[in-house]
Amino acid sequence: MTEATHRARWKALAWAWLLAVAALAVHQADFWREARLDSDVMALLPGEIDDALLKAANARLAAGATQQVVVLVGAPDWAATRRAAEAFGARVMGSGSPFAVVAASEDALEGALAFYAGHRQGLLTPAQRAQLDDPRTVELALARLYSPGAGGFGAWREDPLGLWPAWWQDRAGAALSTRDGQLVVRGESRDWALLRLESRMPAFQLDGERHLRDALDRASAAARAATNEVDVITGGVPLHAEAAAVRARTEVGTIGLGSLIAVVALVWLAFRSPRPILMVSASLLVGCAAGVSVTALVFGQVHLLTLVFGASLVGVAEDYGIHWFASRQAQPDVPPRTMMRRLLPALGLALVTSALAYLALGIAPFPGLRQMAVFSAAGLAAAFITVALWFPWLDGAAPRPSAFARAVGRSLLHWPRLSNHWPTWLAAGAVLVVLAIGLPRLAVNDDLRSLQSSPPDLLAQEARLGRVLGLPSPAQYFLVEGEDAEQVREREEALTDRLATLVENDGLGGWRAVTDWLPSSARQREDAARVQAVEGRVLARAAELLGEAPAPTEPATTLSHADWLAHPVSEPLRPLWLGAVDGRWGSVVLLEGLDPGRLPALAAAADGLPGVRWVDRSATISGVLAHYRHQMSAWLLAGYAAVALALWLRFGRRAWRAWLPTALAATLSLALLGWLGVPLQLFGVLAQLLLLGVGVDYGIFLLEHRDDPASWLAVSLGAASTLLAFGLLALSATPALHSFGLTLLLGIGLVWLITPCFRPAAPAAT
């Protein structure tokens, strides 16, 4: 191929890449206008569950909470509480509000009373069943006839045993009631007005702005202006999601901007020209844009944590441009296209190893990690193509040598090498001490809570809200399954009968189950027969005393699950009724007032009950994290073996000089985590995978070029910027990213320091 032909093809490829970058710009404008971002940290976890019923239960519970925000407004007296609640409601529903109010309706309560009234004889609490077995029940019922609150003989005859009001009181709970058209809950020695809000925004597709929090703060200020000493408590999944989105957006700016400033500063110190800064920045911008666009096209959206992680890509993608300018600075007489042809094999190998290291993150079935892998690999490839196709055309003159570049390049000549002298043995002893003390201290933490952290004030309000309302925990529950709807309800009743004993023994605050409002048909018939028998005796005795003929007993009707589901009264409990899933029927029983120390006793409540199983989502997901940590550790060891083989094929007996520094740095980083008391997580193992792909490059370049100052300058600048990028990632408030960044901060810093020590003593040394 002639030089003219090669030049023409290179130019055509450069123009083609310009068109591709223009398409990226168009897509970026569309993407950021719609902001298809996901902030749900649970997206980092495996999404597929083999058990269809369990998967349906988790999805139903999540869907029931993702849009709901609960607000409690309380003041010293009810009049003040009502004024504050009205002011809050009016303000939160102002123009442009992100909320819709789920109003408490008197008509809804009347509709529920009318719906259940025809089935009242088949609706009993456990205490009422025991009451009906008491021989004194007939006499007590007759005594009620003559009490002042009986409401006359007609009202008494409709419910002579007084079962109906007691059943409703048990269903509603002792603290919940209605007052002046508002829901009221009693707690902390005051009456709270309960407001239920529904976010109009998708819970996990926020734009990083405080829409919900600001609306609640404005409404709280209006409530405080209406009355003194008002207290407002808020909670709900959308608030946690928004807090994560706001934090992630801040971190994207901090980490991305910090990395960019670091790269610009290093490039300026090395080359003292605005051209390298502008060209390297352009390659980084193209790389980040490509990462966003490819991720959005592959997954349909981009996770906010992917953007936070991708911001650290700046510290890696700039290596290609820095290598170009370092080589141009050292050899200014070599034509640009000739220089690029010389660099392409090494740069291409660096791209492949780094991209493979990033793609290794996608081995685990974690959607969030797969996004990070695709984002990083696409971004690196785009930055590489930009450097390879555009830099030879845009870089007309080699940068002038600078004092900083000369100092960094020459520092390699003074770097210590391994030798059979006392400094080497002293350093080896120090390394052994660090390993011997640090590694045994290294703890492992696979707890789900290590992946996320909400603001402390939000967690405190959530805990207080749960105490006042007695909200159930969606993290632990019982899953009940059967062949049909009736069998599920019967098995659920067997479970709640056991849970009642735990409530009596102070091991449980209560539960929420469908059968509290929809007993099985068998239990309804049994209870109705029991009620009719006792009521028959009471009415007969009353007729005898009054000298009247006994009134005929109306036949009881059984409430079906189809009728119940079709009525609005079932709406609050519909998330608990799974219905038919892959030929099996199921329901969920949630627990209230859960004591973490009593979880084993609660789990034992399912023992021996067919179709009933205990589900601890936190423990299950923690087990999944542990499983994949072990799996990734095995992949890591296999990766080191594969890299060792590849290096041996290229360098023969010298391969250990490129391999051992990274292995030693990785081991030392684990020991230092032990010294610092930072536990090892799955994300720490994934960081070790990435360290393998990035760290070995330093050894490869130093073996290829040995004591070349220009090569060492490029390696040092690349390592320093990568170190800064991942060091900033260690500042993330998201525990998973913090662990990832800290591991790489230690690992990359160590491999950069150690690798030059393994250089051969002379070109002929082995």
Domain count, the chain: 1
Name residue, tokens 């009054």.
Answer: 546
Which pLDDT value is given to residue 480? 96
Is the pLDDT assigned to residue 375 strictly greater than 50? yes
Radius of gyration over every alpha carbon of the chain, rounded to an integer in angstroms? 35
- At 139, list the tokens: 């006499």
- Kindly write down the DSSP assignment for every residue of 687-718, as one continuous string: HHHHHHHHHHHHHHHHHHHTT-HHHHHHHHHH
3-state SS, residue 235: strand
- At 526, list the tokens: 């049994």
- Kindly write down the DSSP assignment for every residue of 597-656, as one continuous string: GGHHHHHHTTTT-TTEEEEEHHHHHHHHHHHHHHHHHHHHHHHHHHHHHHHHHHHGGGGH
- Count the Cβ atoms, other than its own, within 10 Å of residue 506: 10
- Determine contact, residues 721/315, Cβ cutoff 8 Å: yes
**For 181, what's the count of Cα atoms within 13 Å in the CB-facing half-sphere?**
8
Is the pLDDT assigned to residue 691 strictly greater than 70? yes
Q: Is residue 361 part of a domain?
A: yes
Residue 22: partners with Cβ closer than 8 Å, 6 or more residues away: none
**For 486, what's the count of Cα atoms within 13 Å in the CB-facing half-sphere?**
8
- Determine contact, residues 269/504, Cβ cutoff 8 Å: no
How would residue 746 be classed by pLDDT, with cut points 50, 70 and 90? Answer: very high
- Kindly write down the DSSP assignment for every residue of 159-197, as one continuous string: STT-HHHHHHHHHH-SSEEEETTEEEEEETTEEEEEEEE
Is the pLDDT assigned to residue 575 strictly greater than 90? no
Burial 547-572 (b: 16+ CB within 10 A, else e): eeeeeeeeebeebebeebbeeebbee
User: Average pLDDT of 8-36?
Assistant: 85
Which pLDDT value is given to residue 765? 42
Q: Is residue 84 part of a domain?
A: no
Q: Is residue 691 part of a domain?
A: yes
Higher-pLDDT residue of 372, 35: 372
Widest CA span in the chain: 124
Name residue, tokens 């300018």.
Answer: 325
Q: Is residue 41 part of a domain?
A: no
Quote the CA–CA distance of 764 and 766 in Å, as a whole number.
Answer: 7
How would residue 667 be classed by pLDDT, with cut points 50, 70 and 90? Answer: very high
Which pLDDT value is given to residue 710? 82
Is the pLDDT assigned to residue 565 strictly greater than 80? yes
Percent of the chain whose pLDDT exceeds 90: 19
Which pLDDT value is given to residue 172? 64
Quote the CA–CA distance of 121 and 119 in Å, as a whole number.
Answer: 6
How would residue 515 be classed by pLDDT, with cut points 50, 70 and 90? Answer: very high
Which pLDDT value is given to residue 236? 82
Top mean-pLDDT range of 126-135, 266-275, 661-670: 661-670
Name residue, tokens 């391994």.
Answer: 418
Quote the CA–CA distance of 163 and 448 in Å, as a whole number.
Answer: 45
How would residue 3 be classed by pLDDT, with cut points 50, 70 and 90? Answer: low
Higher-pLDDT residue of 151, 254: 254
Q: Is residue 705 part of a domain?
A: yes
Residue 450: closest CA among 679, 240, 630: 679
Quote the CA–CA distance of 401 and 438 in Å, as a whole number.
Answer: 43
Higher-pLDDT residue of 369, 275: 275
CA angle 561, 563, 568 (to 5 degrees): 105
190-199/231-235 β-pairing: unpaired
Which pLDDT value is given to residue 465? 83
How would residue 103 be classed by pLDDT, with cut points 50, 70 and 90? Answer: low
- In DSSP terms, 571 is beta-bridged to none
Higher-pLDDT residue of 506, 717: 717
> E strands along 576-714, which residues?
577-581, 584-592, 612-616
Residue 344: partners with Cβ closer than 8 Å, 6 or more residues away: 388
Q: How many helices (H) and strands (E) does the chain have?
A: 27, 13
- At 548, list the tokens: 């009247």
Which pLDDT value is given to residue 40? 57
Q: Is residue 403 part of a domain?
A: yes
Which pLDDT value is given to residue 675? 93
Higher-pLDDT residue of 277, 47: 277
Residue 320: closest CA among 359, 356, 281: 281
Is the pLDDT assigned to residue 766 strictly greater than 50? no
Range of the domain at 744: 3-34+241-448+621-757
Which pLDDT value is given to residue 152? 55
Q: What does residue 124 show for φ and ψ, rounded to 5 degrees?
A: -135, 150
For residue 552, the 8-state DSSP code is P
Is the pLDDT assigned to residue 574 strictly greater than 70? yes
- At 353, list the tokens: 């190893």
CA angle 40, 42, 46 (to 5 degrees): 135
- Count the Cβ atoms, other than its own, within 10 Å of residue 161: 20
pLDDT in tens, 531-549: 888 888 888 887 777 666 5
Percent of the chain whose pLDDT exceeds 70: 86
Higher-pLDDT residue of 215, 204: 215
User: Average pLDDT of 613-628?
Assistant: 83
Is the pLDDT assigned to residue 19 strictly greater than 90? yes
Q: What's the pTM value of the predicted model, to 2 decimals?
A: 0.70
- Determine contact, residues 457/554, Cβ cutoff 8 Å: no
Burial (CB count within 10 angstroms: exposed 0-12, middle 13-18, buried 19+), residue 114 = exposed
Which pLDDT value is given to residue 204? 47
- Determine contact, residues 192/569, Cβ cutoff 8 Å: no
Is the pLDDT assigned to residue 492 strictly greater than 70? yes
3-state SS, residue 513: coil
Quote the CA–CA distance of 412 and 752 in Å, as a whole number.
Answer: 12
Which pLDDT value is given to residue 450? 64
- In DSSP terms, 591 is beta-bridged to 473, 511
Which pLDDT value is given to residue 174? 45
Q: What does residue 183 show for φ and ψ, rounded to 5 degrees?
A: -75, 135
Residue 107 CA, chain-centre distance (Å), reads 39
Of 106-110, 139-143, 385-389, the one with minimum mean pLDDT is 106-110
Burial 419-446 (b: 16+ CB within 10 A, else e): eeeeeeeeeeeeeeebbeebbeebeebb
Q: Is residue 141 part of a domain?
A: no
Q: Please state, rounded to an integer, the average pLDDT across all residues of the chain.
A: 81
Top mean-pLDDT range of 444-453, 651-660, 729-738: 651-660
- At 511, list the tokens: 């539960």
Residue 311: closest CA among 376, 263, 356: 376
- At 176, list the tokens: 């919940």
Q: Is residue 461 part of a domain?
A: no
Quote the CA–CA distance of 259 and 721 in Å, as a whole number.
Answer: 7
Is the pLDDT assigned to residue 154 strictly greater than 60? no
Quote the CA–CA distance of 434 and 429 in Å, as a whole number.
Answer: 9
